[in-house]
Amino acid sequence: MVWIWWKTRPNLLHATHSSIPALWPGKLIVTFHDLIRHQSKGKGTTTRKYFLYWFKYLGYLFVDLLAMYRAKIIIVPARFWKDLLVNKYHLSSDKIAVTYEGVDTIIKQGKPSNEDFGVKKPFLVYTGNLYPHKNIPVLLKAIKILNGKIHLALVGARSVFTRRAQQLIAEQKVNDSVTFLGRLTDIQLISLYSQAVAFVFPSLIEGFGLTGLEAMAVELPVIAARASCLPEVYGDAALYFDPYDPQDLTKKITEVVKSKSLRDNLIKKGLLQVKKYSWDKMSRQTWQIYQNALL
């Protein structure tokens, strides 16, 4: 890849990740999808030996800082991240562009099937990985408080943190209320969403929160943490809770389950919110950023 760059010598190089070519002498645009590695750190975020983790972490910081200051323009997926770069890293606001992401057409237009996923109803869905910043313990505590009245389907590829989540499920004694479904296809996910009562997103830090918008696109009410960029991206189309308070999450889950009018209102607002985001719009904005960078 580096050989191609040096051979073609483009007028502008867009690194879609902060791992930039350190010796690249030309104009550079860098996309920061988030700064989660800067905010979620410590022993609980790794399975490596502690010394190796800190060595790797400091390396990440160096690469990210190099990218921040080398880039002519930085692209981020939410204003939340722009504000953080300006306030914490003292970058110029004019150097940072926000381009919101979009929802894939297959999610918007997919048709659910009657596949049986073996999850007891009524149930909630969480889709994503199990890293510490995803705040799964608070969700499991809420499920315990609900005491079998509501079940939970966990969707996502197994990761190094799956075993920790399974241990926590055992400690909370909610094995009968939680089902691991692993990785699902888009159509399977749509089918699962069509059978669920709500999508729950307890994450403390998100780059954009695409999974919540996907749930809205298929008419599934969203309960989200009031944290990071989620209120910015979801607007008034989600029901928010304190991400550090399982009792508050329990209350919001109960409200959604019991109130059809609340569910219908969230579904209506969700469909309107999804229309604000488009990959086509994002690509046009990115093209304009290229033009501006070449001036």
What is the CATH classification number for the domain harbouring 175?
3.40.50.2000
- Domain shared by 69 and 110, yes or no: no
Mean pLDDT over residues 25-32, rounded?
Answer: 91
Same domain, 203 and 89: no
- Segment 231-257 shows an average pLDDT of 98
Instruction: Give the Cα separation of 249 and 135 in Å (integer).
Output: 12
**Residue 46 DSSP SS3:** coil
* Burial of 185 (C-beta count, 10 Å sphere; 0-12/13-18/19+): exposed
pTM above 0.75, yes or no: yes
pLDDT for 155:
95
In tens, the pLDDT along 46-58 reads 666 666 777 777 8
> Measured between alpha carbons, how far is 189 from 295 in angstroms, rounded to an integer?
44
Query: What band does 274 get if pLDDT is binned at 50, 70 and 90?
Result: very high
Please give the tally of structural domains in the chain.
2
Same-domain status, 164 and 83: no
Residue 76 has pLDDT above 80, yes or no: yes
146 and 82 fall within a common domain: no
The beta strands (E) that lie in the chain are given as: 12-15, 27-31, 73-76, 96-98, 123-127, 151-155, 178-182, 198-201, 222-225, 239-241
Average pLDDT over residues 140-166: 89
Residues 141 and 285 in one domain: no
pLDDT, residue 116, reads: 93
Do 172 and 268 lie in a common domain?
yes
Higher pLDDT, 210 or 9: 210
Query: Quick one: 142 and 92 in the same domain?
Result: no
Q: What is the mean pLDDT of residues 2-18?
A: 80
Same domain, 130 and 267: yes
Q: Assess whether 177 and 266 both reside in one domain.
A: yes
Structural domain boundaries, residue 49? 2-102+278-293
pLDDT at position 97: 98
